[in-house]
Amino acid sequence: MKPSRIFLTTSISLALSIVAFGCSKGSSGTTASADRSGTDANAPKGGSCNQAKAGLCTEFTDNPAGIAEGTCTSIMQGTYSKSACSRASTIGSCASKEEVTWYYFGNASGPWTEDAAQDCKDIHEGAFTATPGAADNAKANALPTPDRIEASCVKDALSCDDVYGDPIKLSLSKSFCDGSSTWNDGKACPTDGLVATCIAGGTAHRYYGAYLKKNGLSMSGLESLCKTSSIGYSHFYPAAGAPVAAGPQGLSAAKGKKGK
């Protein structure tokens, strides 16, 4: 489980214990009304946290002493609301003890339905429910949109990494962008000469024609590299007009290599 999830779950559990100890069931104090999320019957009691860059939205079961809200803004670096998460363009939802997390198309944690289900199990320790009919759309819309790109690491004319998803990992990604590369905050990788993208773990690895030429790789070889060099999910997407790799209609349907 992520440190932020552990912190949130532990903190909420502790706060709930304090509230329960200090207030009887019949108490008419202000705590419950202050925690309730507006008048919308569908709104979660603890409010919601929209992580737009990550393509995720979390609904909290409670917000004791403002812990859920504080965790959203300071740790998850999202936008807190008393409204429910949007149900549009979702892959599915993950219900755990303290929260429900919604996955949207192009998210960094689980871009395909099976990825999201695995993330739900491993990270949130929850039960995943897929949005009916969303699996194919999720695959077609798995690449991050430009508004989700937080930074890029340009590795000369051969390759480039677009970093998106969890803002907390930005500093780590930056540290791996070595001296021979160029780090650009808020700027995406160039698209000229792009032949393929390998998405894995919240990074879009971009490859250009010069990369294939220098390394003597075919598109199928590059696809194989994508599937074998990443921990967790990895999916290969040839660029429009690039030589066709394996898969239907020129789009690789690689299942991705799952980490142990």
Torsion sign across C-alpha atoms 70, 75, 81, 85 = negative
Which of the pair, 184 or 230, is modelled with greater confidence? 184
- Write the pLDDT tens digit of every residue in 46-90: 999 999 999 999 999 999 999 999 999 999 999 999 999 999 999
* Lowest-confidence pick of 18-22, 131-135, 201-205, 251-255: 18-22
Residue 165 has pLDDT above 90, yes or no: no
- Domain membership of residue 93 (yes or no) is yes
Q: How many domains does the chain have?
A: 2
Among 125, 140, 155, which residue terminates a domain?
Answer: 140
DSSP code per residue over 140-190 = HT-SPPGGGEEEEEEETTTEEEEEES-GGGHHHHHHTS-TTSEEEET-PPP
Q: Which pLDDT band, with edges at 50, 70 and 90, does 167 fall under?
A: confident
Among 121, 140, 159, which residue terminates a domain?
Answer: 140
Q: pTM for this structure?
A: 0.76
Same domain flag for 173 and 92: no
Strand order in the sheet with 149-155: 182-185, 149-155, 159-164, 203-208, 194-200, 235-238
Same domain flag for 216 and 155: yes
Residue 19 has pLDDT above 90, yes or no: no
Note the pLDDT of residue 244: 60
Structure tokens of 19? 């509230």
- Domain membership of residue 73 (yes or no) is yes
Of 44, 147, 118, 29, residue with least CA distance to 87: 44
Question: How many residues are recorded in the chain?
Answer: 260
Upper half-sphere CA count for residue 58 (Cβ side, 13 Å): 28
Most confident of 105-114, 168-177, 242-251: 105-114
User: What is the pLDDT of the chain when averaged over all its residues?
Assistant: 81
Domain span at 152: 146-250
- Domain membership of residue 232 (yes or no) is yes
- Domain membership of residue 65 (yes or no) is yes
